[in-house]
Structure formats: C-alpha cells, structure tokens
Chains A and B, each alone.
Chain A
C-alpha cells in the first residue's frame, strides 16, 4: 500500500510513491537521494535531521513523508549559493565549527532559521539557548556559537548592503 507524495525540495519538485509509514528523513535520503540530512537518534532529540519545512525547522525523523505532501523543504544541500558557500557555511568553516560534520547539517538549518527570525542575534547566552536542541559530540559548541554569531553579523551587513 503506497501513496503518491509530491513536494518541493530545495526548489525542485520531488515525487514518489511511499508507504504511509515512511519517515520523511528516509524519504529525503533514500527516495530523493539527499544524504546530507543525517539521522543521529530517530527520536527527535539530537537535531541532526533538522530541515526547514515551509520555513520552519522540523525534525525529519519525527515526521512521515506523507505529512510533508505539498510542502516546501530546505535541506543542507539547498543552502549554498550559485557563487559559493552560504555565509553561514563560510562562518562554520572559518571558525572550525565542525569536526566530523555529522551534526552540522542540523546545526546549519537550525541556525539559518534562528538568524532569519532574529536578525539582531548577538548575545552568546541567547545563541547557546537557541542551539540547545541540537547535539554535537565533537566540538564542545564554542566554535559553533562563534560561527553563528559571526554569520548573523555577516547577514546583517549583507542585507544592509542590499538595501543601500
């Protein structure tokens, strides 16, 4: 028993026949072949599988593919720009905010949402609190916090330049 689902992932239409029980994360990885969305716990705690669904962060391990029917999704593969890395990715690279890189896609999408919601984000404690739903076992978070703060600054500057 399968159902047809269609959604837009990173601006491209994706369609497949799936079992109703198929996890959204498995759909993205196995059906859409977007392996950048990682599964670290499959019970909604670690945040590695975080994606944006209609602009909101969700844990793709806690959703079924059929629940995302018709939605617009952003995964880590959709972040980079035509001319290179997204400023957030650049900031992660410059601050050594990743080691093994397994949790990184989840951190990037959580941070992207965070910075969009709070463009003025700068306070370390606030950033730490906001990132506390994502687990990293390698870095101790210090460099991730620095990268997110730096990226928020870069994006503020970018939007000012665009406005000016």
Chain B
C-alpha cells in the first residue's frame, strides 16, 4: 500500500508548524540564559519595547503570579524541580528561556532582543554527575535547601544477589559512560497561539506528539478548564520523543498571544534547539555480572547515575528508571539488583529520545556479556544463546516486567546463520590476513512496547494512562472517517491504522480518511504517541471500533438483503451474502439507511453508524531481535566503515512490512549515530561545548550501512491483532553491536571500549595508548 501522505510531501504541499500563519500574526523569539547558573538581577527591556514593530517583551516578572510550574507527569518519588515558562529570579542551565520578544517579524524580534540588558549574577555550577556528587559540589537547588544534587534514588532487587556473587566462579565488573545526545528531528519545534479574548479560549498549534496531554498540562499551568484550549498538531517533521514533552515555550507563546491580543508564532531555530529541546541518554553505569564456569550467568548488579540536567522534565527520570529495570535484558538471570540515582546538573533537562532508557541498558549488559565471554574464552553468540530465556519458559518475570512471548534462541540462531551465509566470518579471517582491521559485533535486545497497562503505569507513579481510544464512523455516503489521538510524525502510523480499519470493517483503504492532531475532534489517548505503542495499542483500539461498526453494518445489511447477518461478508465497501456476490448492498446503501432513511433500518436499531472504543493493554509487549555489525577500522585515520549489518527481529504481527523496515532502518541509523558520532559535551561548569551541526554530527548516507533484515513472527498474546510495536527497536541494540565490532576489529591492540561515541580521535588515542603500553 502506498503511503497516502507521500504525494503531498513530495510536491512541497505538506504544512508544518513553520508554514502556518494567521491574520495579524506576530513572531516570537526567546532571550535565553548564557550562564549555566545565575541569579537574574534587573532586566532592562525598555529600549526593546520602544522599537517600531515590537509588540511585547515578557519576562519572568511579567508572568501571572498564579502561573503553575511546568509539570512532570512521571512521579516516581523525587524532589520537585520547579521551572516556569520563563525563568523567575534564577536560571539553572544555559539556554533556559528568560524573556519572549514579540514583533512583526522574527528579524525585528531578534533586533529587539539584542537591545535587552540583563544584570546577571553568575553562581557556581556543575557540568557533570561526577562534579555534582563531589563533597564540595555547588548545589543546583541551593535556594530550595537541597542537601545534595540527587533528585531521586531508585532501588530494586530480585533473588539473592550477594550470595550469587559469593558463589560465582567468575565476576566481571565494568564502568560505562554513555554520552548526551538528543532526538534532533530535522524539523525543529514550533508553536502558534491564538487567544480569543471574547470567549477566553486558546487555540494552540504545536509540534507535539501528545495532543491531549499538552492540552491538559497547559490548562493546569494556566488555570483554565481543558475544553477552553484546543491543541492542533500540523505535519510533524519527525519527533523521536523530544516532541513528547510539554515545553516552557508552549506556555510562554500562549501567554504572549494573550498579552498582545494577536496570534503569535515561534519557530525554534537550529542553534537554539541544541539547548532548548530536551537532551537524552546521558548515564554513568557500573555493572557487575556473576557467572558459573560453564557460562551460566547467575547475577547482575548495576549502579546507575543519570545526568538529568537542571530539572526533571515532562517524563521525570523515566528513561533512567527504564534502564534500571531492564538490566537483565532477555537473559535468564535469577538475581539482580540496581540502584539508580537521578542527579541534577546545570545542563539542559534530560528527556525522551526513541528508546528512552533501553539503549543504555542494552549497551551495558551486552558489553558486559562480551567481557564475560572473553573472560571464559567462549564464543559471544554461544554464551548469549546459553543464557537466553528459552521459549518454553516465557512468559517470565524480570526485575519489573513480564517478558511475554517469542523464541529468542531461534532469532539469534538465524542472525548468526545469516552471518555465515553472507561469508562472514571466513572473510573476516581473509581480510585480517591482508592486514585489515575487520570486526564483528553481536547484540540481542528486547523492547518495552505497547505501553502500556494503565493501572501498572499509575501504580508506578505515571500520571497518564496507557490506553488508546479510537473513534470510527461510516459516513452517509459510505466513506469512513477514523479519529485517533495518536499523532502522525512521519512514521506512517496513519497508514497502518488505515489498513487495520479497512480489514476489520470491510472497506477499501482509499475510502478511509484519518483525522489526527486536533484535541477538539480526536478521542483522548492515554499516553500520546511514543513508546512504540501506535500500531499495538492504537491498532487494537481501531480494530475494536471497526469491529463494533462492522457488526452494525452487517445487521443493517442483513435486514436490507433479508439475510442472516452471520452469513454476510464485507469487502472493499460491498456487503454480500457469502458465496453469492449477486446479493449485495454497498456501504453507501447502509450509510444512507443509518442516517437518512431510518425506514430501512431493522426494528429497534438506532440510527447512526459510529463507534468509540478504548483498548487498555493487559500487559506490555516485548519485541526482540539480534543486531550483527561488521565493520572495518582504518587504524591510520580512526575512521569506521561498515562492511555489513544484519538485523533479525520479531515484532509480532506486521501490519505493513515497508513501514516496519523503514522504522528499523531509521532507528538503526540513530543507534549508529550514538555509537560513532553524536555527542553534546559540556565543560565542568555546565557551559555547552556545542552549538551547531558542525559539532553535533548526524550520520550521512556516506557512513551508514545497508541493512540485511529478516522478520520473524510471534503474535503478541496480549494484543488483539498480535502487533507488538517496532518504533524504537532499532535504536536499542545497535550501539552495543557497533562498539563490539570496533573492539573486535581492534583486537590486535587489545582495547576495551566502554564509552560512546567512538569517534576517530577516540580510536586513535586508544591505539596510541596501547602502543605506548606495549612499548
């Protein structure tokens, strides 16, 4: 099936947030803190306000006194880290918004911004968890009397970890550093707000993955009833989790629209995005693994530190929590203990990025399994296979979740077989004999998807549901309108939902229109668009609504055809008696009866042809897969190039293979970016050492491999339709596989790589270090 949005996007007709305008619209820009930590003295904006074409300058002092702090919806027991639409008295990270300037054009607003004078009083600051946890560390929240910089400590344990370590034949311990990255969708964020003062209603267009959540949070912050706010989401130029958050700019632009009486639009510029959009990933992890001599892993324990930046954003320390509870990956490890500390620093707040905490968990576990294999002199794939949970022992509870279904060993075996079929590792040997540095790296992942069971989320502290609600309507003319609270951000979700709807109601996909991104039209979705839940949870809700409507369609058609509804089939908009297409009515006939000619309805049947159904998954789903990377390292330049990349996975029922493959290709690219290039470094004080695409390197076509991909299919036992979800999968196992391959390629030098990104200069210095040691 062709994607329905492609023709529009290919001809330049897609309308993104930056393409929208309203009559009389003004443009906003933000003045941001240049300091990681400072008291704000006076702000002199008189000259800016007096400039022609300038409509308003708002600062923290101009905010309504009862304005709420920006909310965190993931409450796991942590200290509060209040921050507002605009900083009040204090800034805690470079880039924190301090003032919003509204003018006739963004050019004029920037001119006016340059005229604002702020009297800053810089304060001591911290730019890393190591520094933040030092005894004499400056405190990020000294004004709130925090005793240290730890916002929360999370601990969980199963089994008897100490005993397992005491009795172990082998113990390996490694320390890992995972860098800061961010989602970096190619479209930055943006907001357009229009406030109707006559009725005190706000319309907010925003580049968001969370239509209703954004509306509700904004309502809470502004003290408005939810239905006074209409949130609209235009085309999104990618989201990848960063647009899952509710940002200060959404509140500030709404307030600017109210203050000026005009529609106001703000579009984040790229430089700004590096500081203003949530960062992700950064952790320090110490991981220990205990095993018996025969290779059985008996226990794992992890000590995690998450660099949360200056505040807990919309999802709190959720990603760090997820890393912690996935510390046994897919292995049958009976004993596990984790401690995770959410540490605040004077850096941009940490938040969501495709995969959340899972790439980190996978990296530290998989790299440690490699270490164990080396320690035991075992083949890396074989050691994994030995410890994978066998299919007959699924479902199985791990630290927090219950892994659901599948055949992990079969998946790993297929990936390894594919590696052989493609000529590796023989070719590796030949190339090595020629003096080339070729390496193979393996990882196995699982993905926490179909998020999630609402009760479980609420019990855990998440102030959001995990269900989805779909509304599906057959119109009088027989066409179908499908309403979903999930957002299309480029992943093609609306196509998958269209297919599910078409199959379950019996119309052709071309007869279906999907409505998204309008809080006044679409049903509420518990958790917004993320956590690989669209196809699974959204798809199941669409399936339920479509089936409910179909039953009514068949009842009405049965009455019209004088046939038993059980004997009817519906296909491509025609309803016919099974076996004889001669006796049929069309969906338009049924629609007409349902809305216009009630006289044609069966006795007692209500008019209308519409259903609204919720689906709340009873369990999460757990897709899984194997990544195998084959790389070559140029030891003169430190450059890594891919020779092959194998990806074998199982994401349950696949609705649309093309879209699934596209999701994996794109996500693996982001995982490779994590492994090799992308980083947001700060100095010790929290000054950013990046600011453009010259420092933040996204992978290009020249660096990335072609994927050799195979699918396996174990339908989810908990999701109607069997879909498990796939959106994040590719980001999870790829960093570990790539880094393992580099380490393998550099085996003559005996390097250990526990830190990403593995840049050319990092490789050259590792080699140089080993050469010095050897000499």
Residues in chain A within 8 A of chain B (CB atoms): 19, 21-22, 29, 34-43, 45-46, 48, 75-77, 79-80, 85, 89, 92-94, 96, 98-105, 108, 124, 127-129, 131-145
Residues in B whose Cβ lies below 8 Å from that of A139? 662, 665-666, 669
Of residues 648 to 668 in B, which have CB atoms within 8 Å of A's CB atoms? 658-659, 661-662, 665-668
> Contact between A101 and B490 (Cβ–Cβ < 8 Å)?
yes
Surface stretch bound by A, among B173-181, B196-204, B415-423, B694-702: B694-702
Residues of B within 8 A of A39 (CB): 18
- Tell me how many residues of B have a C-beta within 8 Å of chain A: 55
Asked if A35 and B238 make an inter-chain contact with CB atoms under 8 angstroms apart, the answer reads no
| Complex alpha-carbon distance, A99 and B269, angstroms | 22
* Distance between B317 CB and nearest chain A CB, rounded to angstroms: 25
A132 B702 Cβ-Cβ under 8 A: yes
Give the nearest-CB partner of A45 in chain B.
Answer: B693
Q: Is B49's beta carbon under 8 Å from chain A?
A: no
Main SS class of interface, A: loop
Residues of B within 8 A of A99 (CB): 238, 490-492, 662, 666
Interface hits, B173-231 → A, CB 8 Å: 184-188
B186 near A140 (CB under 8 angstroms)?
no
Q: Are A35's CB and B12's CB within 8 A?
A: yes
Contacts of B235 in A (CB 8 A): 100-101
Once A39-B18, A100-B236, A108-B10 are accepted as A-B contacts, the answer to whether A143 and B270 lie under 8 Å apart by CB is no
Q: Is the CB of A41 within 8 A of B490?
A: no
| A-side contacts of B107, CB under 8 Å | 19, 21-22
Mark B677-715 against chain A: 1 for CB-CB distance below 8 A, else 0. Answer: 000000000000000111000101111101100000000
B residues in contact with A76, CB < 8 Å: 10-12
Q: Is the CB of B271 within 8 A of A96?
A: no
The answer to whether B270 touches A42, judged by C-beta atoms less than 8 angstroms apart, is: yes
Q: Is residue B670 within 8 Å, beta carbon to beta carbon, of the partner chain?
A: yes
A135 contacts B700, CB within 8 Å?
A: yes
Once A40-B187, A100-B490 are accepted as A-B contacts, the answer to whether A142 and B14 lie under 8 Å apart by CB is no
Specify which chain A residues have a CB less than 8 angstroms from the CB of B2 in the assembled complex.
93-94
Instruction: Please encode chain B, from 478 to 502, with 1 for each CB lying within 8 Å of some chain A CB and 0 for all others.
Output: 0000000000011110000000000
List of A residues within 8 angstroms of B662 by Cβ = 96, 99, 138-139, 143
* A101/B700 in contact, CB under 8 A: no
Q: In the complex the two chains form, is B7's CB within 8 Å of A93's CB?
A: yes
Chain B min CB distance to A70 (Å):
23
The residues in B between 744 and 771 inclusive whose CB is less than 8 angstroms from any CB of A are none
- Pair B6/A100 contact, Cβ less than 8 Å: no
Q: Is B19 among interface residues, defined by CB-CB distance under 8 A?
A: yes
- Are B11 and A137 neighbours in the complex by a CB distance under 8 Å? no
Question: A-facing mask of B252-279, CB < 8 A → 1, else 0?
Answer: 0000000000000000011100000000
A142 to B665, CA, bound (A): 8
Given contacts A40-B186, A46-B186, A98-B6, contact A141 B238 (CB under 8 A): no
Q: A136 contacts which of B186, B240, B492 (Cβ < 8 Å)?
A: B186
B199 CB to nearest A CB, Å? 30
Asked if A43 meets B12 with Cβ closer than 8 Å, knowing A100-B237, A101-B5, A102-B187, the reply is no
Evaluate whether A101 and B14 lie within 8 angstroms (CB atoms) in the complex, with A96-B659, A135-B700, A142-B707 already known: yes
Q: Do B19 and A138 touch (CB < 8 A)?
A: no
Q: Knowing A40-B186, A137-B185, A138-B238, say if A96 contacts B10 (CB, 8 Å).
A: no
Among residues of A, the one whose C-beta sits closest to the C-beta of B659 is A96
Q: How far is the CA of A95 from the CA of B729 in the complex (A)?
A: 21
User: Of A98, A129, A132, which contacts B10 at CB under 8 A?
Assistant: A98
B16 on the interface (CB 8 Å rule)? yes
**B3 close to chain A: CB less than 8 A:** yes
A94 to B492, CA, bound (A): 14
Q: A99-B662, A139-B665 are in contact. Are A38 and B701 (CB under 8 A)?
A: no
For A43, A46, A145, which residue has the most chain B Cβ atoms within 10 angstroms?
Answer: A43
Are A102 and B16 in contact (CB-based, < 8 A)? yes
Check if B427 is an interface residue, CB within 8 A of chain A. no
Complex contact B670–A137 (CB within 8 A):
yes
B188 and chain A: residue at smallest CB distance: A40
A36 to B492, CA, bound (A): 20
CB distance from A74 to the nearest CB of B (A): 11
Sample of 18 more A-B contacts, CB < 8 Å, known A101-B6, A142-B665: A19-B107, A35-B16, A35-B19, A36-B11, A36-B14, A38-B16, A38-B187, A46-B693, A99-B491, A100-B490, A101-B235, A131-B702, A134-B700, A135-B186, A136-B701, A137-B186, A137-B238, A143-B665
B431 at the interface (CB under 8 A from A): no
Closest 8 A/B residue pairs (Cβ): A36-B12, A100-B490, A101-B9, A102-B237, A140-B669, A140-B665, A45-B693, A76-B12
